[in-house]
Amino acid sequence: MGDLVLNINGANLHVNAPTGESLLSVLRNRLNLTGTKYGCGEGQCGACTVLLDGRAVRSCLTPASVAADAKITTIEGLEQKGTLSPVQQAFLDEGAFQCGYCTSGMVISATSLLRTTPNPAEEEIVRHMNGNICRCGTYPRILDAVKRASQMIAKGGSR
Ligand code: FES
Ligand code: FES
């Protein structure tokens, strides 16, 4: 076991976890941040995606210790003072989910794209989101949601 201090959604949180435990496991099982989902556990589905210093990473493949020096953002950290982020709002507006299991990872991946590329072409969105799997097949609405979020950001919405 080892003591870690993780900066998650702006707060420094202390956790005691075995060496090598994944960030996903620490988030869900030790910190009760269950918005980040366990899908495949092998880096293939994107359900567990979080931001490390603004970059989308698979938390199932990221040891928590590796994240100790980074700013970690989970789906719980996107909303600010009761206001959804543009990407969250756009997913809601477009109804871009059915069961919702993939949604956290989709929203986080789209957030990372729009922070570096606020006005992506459709092909860029598809390429960037390609590693996020939706078993319900809501891809057309997800695409529309990312485009809508891009437009919201262009009108002054915070990323
Ligand atoms: S649970 Fe991490 S990529 Fe599937
Ligand atoms: S909405 Fe069900 S997996 Fe995407």
Scan for tokens 């040891």, then name that residue. 63
Q: Give the pLDDT confidence of 51-102 residue by residue, as tens digits.
A: 999 999 999 999 999 999 899 999 999 999 999 999 999 999 999 999 999 9
Distance 105 CA to ligand 1 centre (A): 9
State mean pLDDT over 6-11: 97
2-75 has which fold?
Answer: Ubiquitin-like (UB roll) (3.10.20)
Q: What is the mean pLDDT of the chain?
A: 96
Distance 41 CA to ligand 2 centre (A): 17
**CATH for the stretch 86-154:** 1.10.150.120
Domain boundaries, the chain: 2-75, 86-154
Q: Closest Cα to residue 113, out of 126, 101, 103? A: 126
Per-residue pLDDT at 2: 73
